Structure 1
Amino acid sequence: MYTLLIADDEALEREGIELMIRHMMPDTFKFLHAENGRRAIQLAEEERPDFIFMDIKMPGIQGLEAVREILNKNPGTPIVLITAHDYFGYAKEGLALGVREYLLKPARRDEVLNVLKTLIAEAEESKRARNERLVIQEKLSQLMPLAENELSLMLMLECVQEVDLSQLANLLNLEWHKGYAIVLSFSRQSSKEWADFQLLKKDIYDAVKQWAKPSLSCIVSPVVGHQMALFVPFPPGRPNYTQRVMAMEWGERLRGLTMERFQLPLSVGIGSIREGWDGLSRSYREAVRVCADDTDFANVRHYDDITESSGQLPSSLDEEKRLLDAILRHDKQEAADRFNVLFERLEQTSAHHFPRLRGDVIGLLMFIGRGAQIGDGAELITALGGLEDTGSLREGGQRWLGSLIDKLREEKERSRSHVLQRALLFIAQGYKEDISMEQTAEHVNLSPHYFSKLFKQQTGETFIDYITRLRIDKAKALIAEGSLSLKEICYEVGYKDPNYFSRVFKKAMGITPSEYRQQIE
């Protein structure tokens, strides 16, 4: 039901219009009456009517003055002027103010009806559009956290998606692309600490996000493994050193917040200020690297502080990526060569401080292990943490990288073997039907092209040759039993045409099924 305010100094006019509308459009309107402009303004403010019929000529505050006041406070309110021919000039002024329509006294039924139908249709359309906007806003509000998670994960994992970083940034209204990363890394030194973290990580994520978003205007990543990352914008015009000091203060506050609320040990790493999305991704890797340095005396560490104090070259991160790439390609020789280059660079910067060199090497290998998603950090620290000379440290690092590649190969072979076993079981259960390579590939969730190559590599046969051999072997066994006819055997092993079965059998065995039966007998 709509609310209609009728403003006219003549009561008969107001009642006549109401009676006319009630008769034409029953149960459609709630009516309000105003005998002058002041009362019309008051009712418009208190009741917020959907439509207003306003007489121009009224005592006190005139109609046009009331229209101006109402539209000033409630823009967009549909107002229809009611005027006599003598006041047509006023009607034109009203239209200039934003009045929707005007009616000449005495108002005719068809004119009033047409005006009200138009106003209702426009109101319904406006309501529908408003509801659509609200639905879109609600969906967008639900999408925003997902977009933020996606953007942060792309920065952390350097993955390639259909939606690129700039598109996600535009969706999130991020107008900055220069900043740095803060990484919170929770301890995994004991099984109890790890178990406690698993139970609390959702609460930790909520607490960090609730604190960091308004304070830093940053992007907050989900918890990945035992870490979460914040990507913080760099305010233009602020000196880098000042920002570094402030970042360290933010890191201390974040650590204090989580330690106080959750009683879980953690370290905080902060990367350099970088420009562009690639730069932010690199800042994240810097922050991860300084988090991994468990030998350092500080729990909140900035990459620039570490490099300045140890003399490390920042460009080593690119070499680390190349080393990781060699590991993922299972190239032991290239991995060994690249590790040697990095080791020598670290050795130069820590020539007189072996514990620092050992910490840098362990941090490097932990970074590589995390990137390869394999390897135990605690096991690595145990293996290398007790070494006391450069030669054994280099050899230990080489051995660990070699074992990492072996583990990756084994994992890959186990995965392939598992896929093959599932495929062979599927074939064994369905070879009597018209089974295809495409069906089998879909069953193990691989593309037909890749599955075909993998099947040939693992079995030494093509898919068709394997099916054929399986069917012929089964046919030979059934012929030897002697309980079924050759035609029945044909259908039993998955062939629909006895003649075709006979040709396939002869091609495989050199003789027809009948000749094979005679030999058996």
Structure 2
Amino acid sequence: MYKLLIADDELREREGLELMVSRMMPCQFEILHAENGRKAIQIAEERRPDIIFMDIQMPGIQGLDAVKEINRMLPGARIILVTAHEYFAYAKEAVTLGIKEYILKPAKRDEIIHILRKLIHELDEERGKRREELEVKEKLNRLLPLAENEMALMLLMDSIHEFDCEQLAELLDIRWEQGYAMVLSFPFKEQQDWNVFQTRRKELYEGVKPYIKSQLGCLISPLIGSRMAIFIPAASWEAGKSPRAQSLNWGERLHAWIEASFGLSAAIGIGSLKKGFEGLRQSYQEAAAAASTASSAEPICHADDLLLNGGGRSRITPEEERKLLDSLYRQNREEAGMRFSQVLERLFAEAGDNVPQCRDEIIALLISITRQQVHWSPADLLAHFDSAANIAMLRQAAIEQMERILEEVGKEREKRKFHAVERARMYLAECYKSDISLEQTAEYVNLSPFYFSKLFKLQTGETFIDYITRLRINEAKRLLELEELSFKEICYEVGYNDPSYFSRIFKKTTGFTPSEYRQQSALL
């Protein structure tokens, strides 16, 4: 229901207009009355009408003056000027106020109803458009956290694709010409501390994220293990201060706030200023290394200090990850297990008994692998490491997860094989009447001709040539039974260029020549 305000100093005019509208358009309006311009402004402010009939000549505040004030309060309201003949020229000046509708007294019923229906249609369209905009905005607001997680994980897991990063950055409305990374880590010496942290993970993440975002236009990763990463663009810097000084200041403020708000001591590593998305990835690696060297005495460490002091620790290298992924892709379980074991033993040897540090490294590696191979969520992996209180338990949990990954990779490859043949069959169903080859079909499903040929025979029980031949002969039999086309026309229709060859293939397949088959089908 819409609100309709009738502003006129004559009671009979107001009541007559109300009666006319109520009879012709029942139950569509809540009708309000104003006897002068001041009352019209007051009602417009309090009741916010959708459509207003405004008489130009009223005592006190004139109609056009009231229109100016109402336009300021309700820019979306539809205003219809009502005027006598002697004020017609004056009414036309109202066009400058955005008024598009006016009627002359005495108003005609059909004219009034026509204008009202027209304005209702406009309002309905506006409401529909606004509703759609709100729905899109709501959906976008739901997607933004997912986009932020996706971009953060791309930077964390060394799976940067420039085009994807640019699109995600544009969606998040963050400029990334240059910036730096900060890693927030919660080191635990005792299993009891880790258990306490586990119960407060959600509370901590949901507290830290809005605190930082309220002051910085940044990108924040999920809390993985006991770490989270913050990527801060140059646009968030204060003028006149060096990036290093500002980042250290931010680290100190964040550390103090977490300690005061949650009673937890955080280690904070800060990377150096870098350009582009790849640079941001490198800054994260520096920040992660710096966070691992922070101590209770010095909980905030900048990568520049780490380089000057010659500190740092070895991490899982991109080359190690690439070789492990390669062995997984080739389904070489023995090689994948061996490479994973080598990575584990090197980590344990270098990190000593630092379980949280090793846990974070292993989880990061496994998340990177699963994102590229089996698409598990990080939460699915994290749950399996919660109870790993020492290196032995951590090693066992890691090996179990690698076994799961190997099994899932095998299943995924089998699915891809099946889908490749199904896609090929759908492709052939559309193209078998043309000069199609095994090589063309293999290229269509992104497989080598040799591998596709073996896979196709294995899953269909037929060679590629036999399969095509069967499709063509079945179609030829159908056309022969219709008796609409000649043998030669059918030959070309089903994909053969030589009628003699077509006749030989048809007889070899069915036991009849095309003419014999047509005669026999006519008798049935």
TM range (shorter): 0.5 to 0.7
Q: CA deviation at 1:90?
A: 1.4
Provide structure 2 residue ranges, at least 5 long, that are not aligned to the other structure: 328-334, 368-384, 423-444, 462-524
1:90 paired residue number: 90
1:378-408 Cα deviation digits (max 9, x unpaired): 759x9xxxxxxxxxxxxxxxxxxxx99xx98
1:300 paired residue number: 300
Alpha-carbon distance between aligned partners in 2 of 1:102 and 1:178, rounded to the nearest angstrom: 58
Alpha-carbon distance between aligned partners in 1 of 2:64 and 2:163, rounded to the nearest angstrom: 55
CA 1:57–1:323 in 2, change beyond 3 Å: closer, same or farther?
A: same
CA 1:60–1:310 in 2, change beyond 3 Å: closer, same or farther?
A: same
Q: CA deviation at 1:91?
A: 2.1
Provide structure 1 residue ranges, at least 5 long, that are not aligned to the other structure: 344-357, 383-402, 425-436, 468-521
Secondary structure at the residue paired with 1:232?
A: strand
Give the root-mean-square deviation of aligned CA atoms. 4.7
Q: CA deviation at 1:110?
A: 0.7
CA 1:373–1:76 in 2, change beyond 3 Å: closer, same or farther?
A: closer
Work out the number of aligned pairs and report it.
Answer: 395
2:318 paired residue number: 321
CA 1:241–1:82 in 2, change beyond 3 Å: closer, same or farther?
A: closer
CA 1:114–1:439 in 2, change beyond 3 Å: closer, same or farther?
A: closer
Q: Is the 8 A contact 1:180 1:284 kept in 2?
A: yes
Alpha-carbon distance between aligned partners in 2 of 1:150 and 1:31, rounded to the nearest angstrom: 52
Alignment of 1:420-439 (within 5 A): 438=418
CA 1:12–1:192 in 2, change beyond 3 Å: closer, same or farther?
A: same
Is 2:222 the partner of 1:242? no
1:7-36 Cα deviation digits (max 9, x unpaired): 222222222212222221223222222222
Structure 1 residue identity aligned to 2:57: K
1:83-136 Cα deviation digits (max 9, x unpaired): 222222112112232113111211111111101111111111111111222222
Secondary structure at the residue paired with 2:54?
A: strand
2:183 paired residue number: 183
Alignment of 1:90-239 (within 5 A): 90-159=90-159, 164-235=164-235
Alpha-carbon distance between aligned partners in 2 of 1:48 and 1:236, rounded to the nearest angstrom: 41
Secondary structure at the residue paired with 2:288?
A: helix
Q: Is the 8 A contact 1:320 1:368 kept in 2?
A: no
1:22-53 Cα deviation digits (max 9, x unpaired): 22122322222222223222322222222111
Q: CA deviation at 1:248?
A: 2.2
Structure 2 residue identity aligned to 1:129: K
2:376 paired residue number: none
Q: Is the 8 A contact 1:4 1:49 kept in 2?
A: yes
1:166-189 Cα deviation digits (max 9, x unpaired): 111111111343211111122254
CA 1:88–1:415 in 2, change beyond 3 Å: closer, same or farther?
A: closer
Alpha-carbon distance between aligned partners in 1 of 2:419 and 2:320, rounded to the nearest angstrom: 39
CA 1:289–1:30 in 2, change beyond 3 Å: closer, same or farther?
A: same
1:64 paired residue number: 64
Alpha-carbon distance between aligned partners in 1 of 2:95 and 2:195, rounded to the nearest angstrom: 72
Q: Is the 8 A contact 1:438 1:448 kept in 2?
A: no
CA 1:41–1:145 in 2, change beyond 3 Å: closer, same or farther?
A: same
2:271 paired residue number: 271
Secondary structure at the residue paired with 1:33?
A: strand
Alignment of 1:279-294 (within 5 A): 279-293=279-293
1:6 paired residue number: 6
Secondary structure at the residue paired with 1:135?
A: helix
Is 2:55 the partner of 1:55? yes
Q: CA deviation at 1:231?
A: 0.9
Alpha-carbon distance between aligned partners in 1 of 2:157 and 2:91, rounded to the nearest angstrom: 67
Alpha-carbon distance between aligned partners in 2 of 1:47 and 1:31, rounded to the nearest angstrom: 11
Q: CA deviation at 1:77?
A: 1.7
Alpha-carbon distance between aligned partners in 1 of 2:213 and 2:236, rounded to the nearest angstrom: 19
Q: Is the 8 A contact 1:324 1:368 kept in 2?
A: no
Deviates more, 1:216-225 or 1:156-165: 156-165
CA 1:34–1:412 in 2, change beyond 3 Å: closer, same or farther?
A: closer
Q: CA deviation at 1:222?
A: 0.5
Alpha-carbon distance between aligned partners in 2 of 1:143 and 1:415, rounded to the nearest angstrom: 28
1:215-248 Cα deviation digits (max 9, x unpaired): 3332111111221111122348868983323322
1:430 paired residue number: none
Alpha-carbon distance between aligned partners in 2 of 1:251 and 1:169, rounded to the nearest angstrom: 24
Larger Rg: 1
Q: Is the 8 A contact 1:441 1:448 kept in 2?
A: no
1:62-91 Cα deviation digits (max 9, x unpaired): 222222222233223211111222222112
1:442-485 Cα deviation digits (max 9, x unpaired): 9xxxx9979x98xx9xxxx99959x9xxxxxxxxxxxxxxxxxx
Structure 2 residue identity aligned to 1:303: A
Q: Is the 8 A contact 1:328 1:372 kept in 2?
A: no
1:36 paired residue number: 36
Secondary structure at the residue paired with 1:76?
A: coil
Alpha-carbon distance between aligned partners in 1 of 2:447 and 2:254, rounded to the nearest angstrom: 50
CA 1:420–1:11 in 2, change beyond 3 Å: closer, same or farther?
A: closer
Q: Is the 8 A contact 2:237 2:243 kept in 1?
A: no
1:247-304 Cα deviation digits (max 9, x unpaired): 2232233333334444445421111111111111111111111223378963221111
Alpha-carbon distance between aligned partners in 2 of 1:418 and 1:95, rounded to the nearest angstrom: 70
Q: Is the 8 A contact 1:4 1:51 kept in 2?
A: yes
TM-score of the superposition, structure 1-length normalised?
A: 0.63
Alpha-carbon distance between aligned partners in 1 of 2:194 and 2:304, rounded to the nearest angstrom: 29
Secondary structure at the residue paired with 2:214?
A: helix
CA 1:281–1:240 in 2, change beyond 3 Å: closer, same or farther?
A: farther
Alpha-carbon distance between aligned partners in 1 of 2:320 and 2:35, rounded to the nearest angstrom: 86
Q: Is the 8 A contact 2:217 2:233 kept in 1?
A: yes
Q: CA deviation at 1:417?
A: 6.8
Alpha-carbon distance between aligned partners in 2 of 1:412 and 1:224, rounded to the nearest angstrom: 18
CA 1:97–1:214 in 2, change beyond 3 Å: closer, same or farther?
A: same
Secondary structure at the residue paired with 1:131?
A: helix
Secondary structure at the residue paired with 1:292?
A: helix
1:508 paired residue number: none
Structure 2 residue identity aligned to 1:438: F
